[in-house]
C-alpha cells in the first residue's frame, strides 16, 4: 500500500511537471527537460532551525503589529478565507518586525469565514474589505491604492516571514542600480527550496529555479537579475507600480500577473532582482490549489496564452524551452571565474577587501562573476558576503572540482582570473587546456618575491633568500605566460617593465570607498594599528611597535592608548600585552576606531605592494604615520598626506608632533582623502579595469 501511494504521488508530480513543459520541448530539448524532472525527485532538504514556523493550530491573532504611521513600505496581504494561515503569517510579522518603518494592509476579499471579525481586533493592522470577490489581482490593486508607503511589498497570506525579510528586499533598491522589483528566496515548509527566481522560456512556460533543491546550496544564495519573481513575496516602488497601472486585470482572477508585471518593469529599463537573503516560507497551493483543471488554478493555463500573446515580441528573445537551466538563468553576459587562495572576508585582510571590490566593479560593468577558493571552502558568512554583491561562490559540498566545473562551463567563460602565484601556478595548465578561449589574468596581489627578498634582507635569513629566488622564477614564468598581469603598485609595474618587457602588465590597485572625515580633531584620542598575524610583515611591525616604539611614547604620554586590531593568536597576545595596549582582535567594522582614534600607524619594515591599512585609514580622513616601505607606491608626500619615519625615535617624535598639532592633522587628513579619491577610489579602479582588460569582454 505504501509503495502504491508513493508511486501515485510520483506519478502526480510527474504529471504536474509535464504540464509545465510542452511536447515539443521534450522532442527538441530533452536535456533541459530531464534536468527539471530530476529536480522533482531530489532528496528532501531538512528545515533549518533558524526558520521556526508559527503553528497553524494556533488560532490566536497577534494583539498588535509593529507598524508605522509614516511607513516606508506597505505590506499588502490579499486574503480569501484560510484564516489559520493568515493568523500565522501575521504572527510571524509581529515576531520578526523590520528595521524600516512599515504598515500592514490586509485586503479581505469577501471571505466567508471569520477573517474580518478576528482581524478587526489586531492593533496596527489596516483591514480593507472588498464588497464582492475581486480575486487576487483586484485585491492587490485595491491594497496598493490605499497604501501610504514609498514601496509596496505584496505578500501571500500562506507565507511566514523570517528575520530580515523586508529589510533585505529594501537593500536591493539601495544597492542595485535601476532595481524595479526585488523578490525573496521562497522555502517550502519541509525545508526544500521552492524558488530562487523564475525563468520564462520562449513558449511562455515558466520554471522556478532551484525547485526542490537545498536552500543552503551556494548556487541559490547570490543576487542576480531574473525574468520574474513570485508575487508571494514581491517588492516594487509605489510610483513604478502606479506608472505601470498595477497588476494587469486581463489575468483576473490570478496567475501570470507577477510575471507580466516583471516583464513590464523590464520593458521600461528597470531590473527584476532575486534577493536570497530575504527568506520567506511559502505553503504553495494553499490559496489556489494545485489542480490545473479546477478552481483558480485552471487560470494558470488560460493566462499563459494571454501572456504569450501580449509579450510575443519579447518571448522570441527568451531561451528556448529545451535550454539547460544553468544556461537559461544567466543569458549572454560575459563570464569570469576568479580563483584565489581563500574565500575573501572583508574583515580579515586588505587583500580580501580589494578582491571583493574588484568583483563588485566587474559585476557593475556587466560581468557574470563566479568565485572559487583554491580549497573550495567558504563559510556561510563569506557566501552571503559575496552573494550580496551578486557573486556565485563555488564551494563544498555543492560544487564540483575545478576541472569538472571547467568541463561544464568552458564555453561560457571569457576570462579566468588566478590570484597569487601559489594559486595560479598549479592551476594555469588546467585552465589553459580546459578553457582555451578564455583569457587568463594573473593577479599578483603583490609581487611575493619582492616581499620575501626584503624580509630576507631584513632578517638575514639565507633560506628565505633562496625562497625569494624560487618565487621570482615562478612569478616571472606566470607573468610571461598569462594574457594579462595585474599589479597594485606603479613601482612593481615599473619593475616588471624591465624584467618582462613583452608582458601585458596593468595597474589595478586597492579599491576603497571614500567615507570621509566624520569626526573632528578634538574629541579623538588614542592611536591604532590594523593588521593580522597571517601576514609576516604585520607580525614584525606589531612586535617593533609594542617593544620599540610604544614604550617610550607611553612613558612620555601615558594617556595615549594603543589599539591593536586584527587576528592575533593567544600566545602573541600575552607577549604583546602591556600598559596602555588594548588588543581587540578581528572586528567586523573598523569604523569606530577610524572615527574615534587620532592617528593610524603603519610601522612596516618590509613588504611589497600597496598597504591596505594605510588606504583604509586615509579613506576615513584619519592621518597616518608610516615607514617609507609602508607608504611606497601610493603617491604620498611626507608632511602633506602622511608623516614618514623609519626608526623608533623618529616614529615617536612624529606621533607626538601630530597628536597635538591640529593644523597639521587637518592638512594630512585632507591630503590623505584626496589621495584616495585620485588613486584608490571606485572611480579610479573602474577606469583602471577598463584599461587593464580591454579584450576580455565589454569593459
pLDDT at 38 over 60: no
Check if the beta carbon of residue 204 is closer than 8 Å to that of residue 308.
Answer: yes
Q: Are 211 and 347 found together in one domain?
A: no
Same domain, 531 and 450: no
CA distance 487 to 531: 21
Instruction: Kindly state whether residues 137 and 108 are assigned to the same domain.
Output: yes
Question: 179 with 226, same domain?
Answer: yes
| Domain containing residue 426 | 335-507
Task: In whole angstroms, give the CA distance from residue 633 to residue 471.
Answer: 21
pLDDT at 290: 53
In the chain, the percentage of residues whose pLDDT exceeds 90 is 77
- Residue 393 has a pLDDT of 97
Tell whether 168 is covered by a domain: yes
- 669, containing H or E segment: helix 662-679
Mean local confidence (pLDDT), 262-273: 98
Task: Report the pLDDT value the prediction gives residue 293, as an integer from 0 to 100.
Answer: 52
301 pLDDT exceeds 50? yes
pTM (2 d.p.): 0.85
Tell me whether residue 592 is in a domain.
yes
- 657 has pLDDT over 80: yes
- Give pLDDT tens digits for 313-371: 999 999 988 777 777 788 778 999 999 999 999 888 888 999 999 999 999 988 999 99
* Predicted confidence (pLDDT) at residue 297 exceeds the cutoff of 90: no
Backbone phi and psi for residue 106, each to the nearest 5 degrees, phi listed first: -100, 125
Q: How high is the pLDDT of residue 348? A: 86
CATH of residue 286: 3.90.550.10
Task: Identify whether residues 418 and 534 lie together within a single domain.
Answer: no
Q: So what's the pLDDT on residue 59?
A: 87
- Looking at the structure, tell me whether residues 339 and 324 fall in a common domain: no
Mapping DSSP onto H, E and C, the string for 48-97 reads CHHHCCCCCCCCCCCCECCCCCCCCEEEEEEECCCHHHHHHHHHHHHHHC
Same domain, 323 and 364: no
Are 95 and 223 found together in one domain?
yes
Q: Is residue 641 assigned to a domain? A: yes
Supply the CATH number for residue 606's domain: 3.40.50.2000
Residue 178 lies in a domain: yes
User: How far are the Cα atoms of 175, 227, 329, 383 from residue 182, in angstroms, in the given order?
Assistant: 11, 11, 16, 20
What's the distance, Cα to Cα, between the start and end of the chain in Å? 62
| One-letter-per-residue 3-state SS of 551-576 | HHHHHHCCCCCEEEECCCCHHHHHHH
What's residue 534's pLDDT? 83
Among 440, 474, 507, identify where a domain stops: 507
pLDDT digits (tens, 9 = 90+) for 377-409: 999 999 999 999 999 999 999 999 999 999 999
pLDDT of residue 89: 97
| Structural domain total, the chain | 3
pLDDT of 16 higher than 70: no
Residue 554 is assigned to a structural domain of this protein:
yes
pLDDT value of residue 292: 52
On whether both 413 and 295 belong to a single domain, the answer is: no
Residue 688 has pLDDT above 80, yes or no: yes
Task: Check: CB of residue 108 under 8 Å from CB of residue 79.
Answer: yes
Q: Residue 15: is its pLDDT beyond 70? A: no
d(CA 328, CA 574): 56
DSSP letters along 576-598, please? H--TTEEEEE--S--HHHHHH-S
Q: How confident is the model at residue 49 (pLDDT cuts 50, 70, 90)?
A: low
Which of 279, 303, 328 represents a domain boundary (last residue)?
A: 328
Give the confidence band of 31 by pLDDT, cuts at 50, 70, 90: very low
pLDDT score of 11 more than 80:
no
Within-domain flag for 479: yes
573-631: per-residue pLDDT in tens? 988 999 999 999 999 899 999 999 999 999 999 988 899 999 999 999 999 999 999 99
Mean pLDDT, the chain, whole residue set: 89
d(CA 619, CA 675): 9
pLDDT band at 204; cut points 50, 70, 90 = very high
The 3-class secondary structure across 503-557, one letter per residue, is CCEEECCCCCCCCCCCCCCCCCCCEEEECCCCCHHHHHHHHHHHHHHHHHHHHHC
CATH number at residue 375: 3.40.50.720
Q: Is residue 596 part of a domain?
A: yes
Domain boundary among 268, 293, 328: 328
- What is the per-residue pLDDT across 419-466, written as a single tens digit (0 to 9) for each? 999 999 999 999 999 999 999 999 999 898 998 898 899 999 999 999
Co-location of 488 and 540 in the same domain: no
Q: Give the number of C-alpha atoms closer than 13 A to the C-alpha of residue 235, restricted to the C-beta side.
A: 28
Is 37 a residue whose pLDDT tops 50?
Answer: no
Rounded to the nearest 10 degrees, what angle do helices 257-267 and 135-146 cross at? 50
Q: Identify whether residues 484 and 559 lie together within a single domain.
A: no
Angle, CA of 219, 225 and 227, to the nearest 5°: 105
The answer to the question of residue 3 being in a domain is: no
Examine the domain organization and report whether 280 and 345 are in the same domain.
no
Amino acid at each position: 500500500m505504501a509503495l502504491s501511494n508513493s508511486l501515485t504521488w510520483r506519478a502526480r508530480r510527474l504529471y504536474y511537471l509535464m504540464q509545465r513543459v510542452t511536447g515539443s520541448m521534450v522532442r527538441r530539448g530533452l536535456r533541459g527537460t530531464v534536468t527539471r524532472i530530476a529536480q522533482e525527485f531530489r532528496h528532501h532538504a531538512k528545515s533549518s532551525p533558524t526558520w521556526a514556523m508559527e503553528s497553524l493550530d494556533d488560532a490566536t491573532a497577534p494583539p498588535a503589529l509593529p507598524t508605522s504611521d509614516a511607513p516606508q513600505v506597505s505590506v499588502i496581504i490579499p486574503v480569501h478565507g484560510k484564516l489559520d494561515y493568515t493568523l500565522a503569517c501575521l504572527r510571524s510579522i509581529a515576531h520578526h518586525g523590520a528595521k524600516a518603518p512599515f504598515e500592514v494592509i490586509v485586503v479581505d476579499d469577501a471571505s466567508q469565514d471569520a477573517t474580518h471579525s478576528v482581524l478587526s481586533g489586531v492593533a496596527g493592522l489596516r483591514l480593507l474589505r472588498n464588497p464582492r470577490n475581486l480575486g487576487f489581482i483586484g485585491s492587490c490593486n485595491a491594497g496598493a491604492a490605499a497604501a501610504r508607503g514609498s514601496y509596496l511589498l505584496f505578500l501571500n497570506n500562506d507565507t511566514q516571514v523570517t528575520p530580515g525579510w523586508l529589510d533585505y528586499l529594501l537593500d536591493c533598491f539601495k544597492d542595485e542600480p535601476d532595481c524595479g522589483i526585488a523578490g525573496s528566496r521562497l522555502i517550502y515548509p519541509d525545508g526544500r527550496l521552492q524558488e530562487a527566481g523564475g525563468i520564462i522560456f520562449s513558449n511562455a512556460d515558466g520554471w522556478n529555479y532551484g525547485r526542490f533543491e537545498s536552500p543552503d546550496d551556494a548556487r541559490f544564495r547570490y543576487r542576480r537579475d531574473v525574468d520574474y519573481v513570485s508575487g508571494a513575496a514581491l517588492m516594487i516602488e509605489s510610483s513604478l507600480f502606479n506608472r505601470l497601472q498595477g497588476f494587469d486585470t486581463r489575468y483576473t482572477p490570478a496567475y501570470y500577473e507577477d510575471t507580466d508585471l516583471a516583464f513590464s518593469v523590464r520593458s521600461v529599463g528597470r531590473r527584476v532582482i532575486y534577493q536570497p537573503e530575504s527568506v520567506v516560507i511559502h505553503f504553495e497551493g494553499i490559496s489556489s490549489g494545485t489542480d490545473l483543471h479546477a478552481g483558480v488554478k485552471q487560470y494558470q493555463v488560460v493566462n499563459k496564452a494571454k501572456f504569450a500573446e501580449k509579450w510575443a515580441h519579447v518571448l522570441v528573445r527568451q531561451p528556448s524551452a529545451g535550454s539547460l537551466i544553468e544556461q537559461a538563468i544567466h543569458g549572454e553576459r560575459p563570464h569570469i571565474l576568479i580563483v584565489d587562495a581563500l574565500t575573501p572576508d572583508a574583515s580579515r585582510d586588505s587583500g580580501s577587501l580589494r578582491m571583493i571590490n574588484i568583483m563588485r566593479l566587474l559585476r557593475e560593468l556587466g560581468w557574470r562573476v563566479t568565485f572559487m577558493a583554491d580549497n573550495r571552502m567558504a563559510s556561510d558568512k563569506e557566501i552571503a558576503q559575496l552573494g550580496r554583491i551578486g557573486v556565485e561562490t563555488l564551494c563544498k559540498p555543492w560544487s564540483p572540482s575545478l576541472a569538472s566545473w571547467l568541463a561544464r562551463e568552458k564555453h561560457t567563460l571569457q576570462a579566468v582570473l588566478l590570484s597569487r602565484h601559489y594559486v595560479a601556478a598549479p592551476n594555469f595548465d588546467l585552465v589553459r587546456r580546459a578553457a582555451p578561449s578564455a583569457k587568463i589574468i594573473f593577479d599578483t596581489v603583490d609581487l611575493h618575491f619582492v616581499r620575501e627578498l626584503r624580509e630576507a634582507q631584513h632578517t638575514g635569513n639565507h633560506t628565505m633568500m633562496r625562497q625569494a629566488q624560487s618565487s621570482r622564477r615562478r612569478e616571472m614564468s606566470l607573468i610571461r605566460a598569462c594574457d594579462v598581469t595585474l599589479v597594485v603598485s606603479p613601482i612593481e609595474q615599473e619593475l616588471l617593465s624591465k624584467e618582462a618587457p613583452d608582458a601585458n602588465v596593468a595597474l589595478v590597485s586597492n579599491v576603497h570607498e571614500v567615507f570621509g572625515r566624520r569626526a573632528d580633531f578634538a574629541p579623538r584620542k588614542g592611536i591604532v594599528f590594523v593588521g593580522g598575524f597571517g601576514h609576516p610583515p604585520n607580525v614584525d611591525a606589531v612586535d617593533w611597535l609594542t617593544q620599540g616604539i610604544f614604550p617610550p611614547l607611553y612613558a612620555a604620554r601615558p594617556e595615549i592608548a594603543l589599539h591593536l586590531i586584527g587576528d592575533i593568536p593567544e600566545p602573541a597576545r600575552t607577549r604583546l600585552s602591556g600598559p596602555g595596549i588594548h588588543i581587540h582582535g578581528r572586528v567586523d567594522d573598523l569604523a569606530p576606531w577610524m572615527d574615534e582614534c587620532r592617528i593610524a600607524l603603519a610601522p612596516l619594515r618590509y613588504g611589497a605592494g600597496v598597504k591596505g591599512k594605510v588606504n583604509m585609514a586615509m579613506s576615513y580622513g584619519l592621518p597616518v604615520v608610516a615607514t617609507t616601505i609602508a607608504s611606497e607606491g601610493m603617491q604620498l608626500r611626507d608632511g602633506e598626506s602622511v608623516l614618514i619615519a623609519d626608526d623608533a625615535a623618529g616614529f615617536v617624535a612624529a606621533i607626538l608632533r601630530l597628536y597635538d598639532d591640529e593644523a597639521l592633522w587637518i592638512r594630512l587628513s585632507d591630503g590623505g582623502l584626496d589621495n584616495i579619491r585620485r588613486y584608490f577610489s571606485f572611480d579610479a579602479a573602474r577606469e583602471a579595469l577598463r584599461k587593464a582588460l580591454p579584450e576580455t569582454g565589454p569593459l
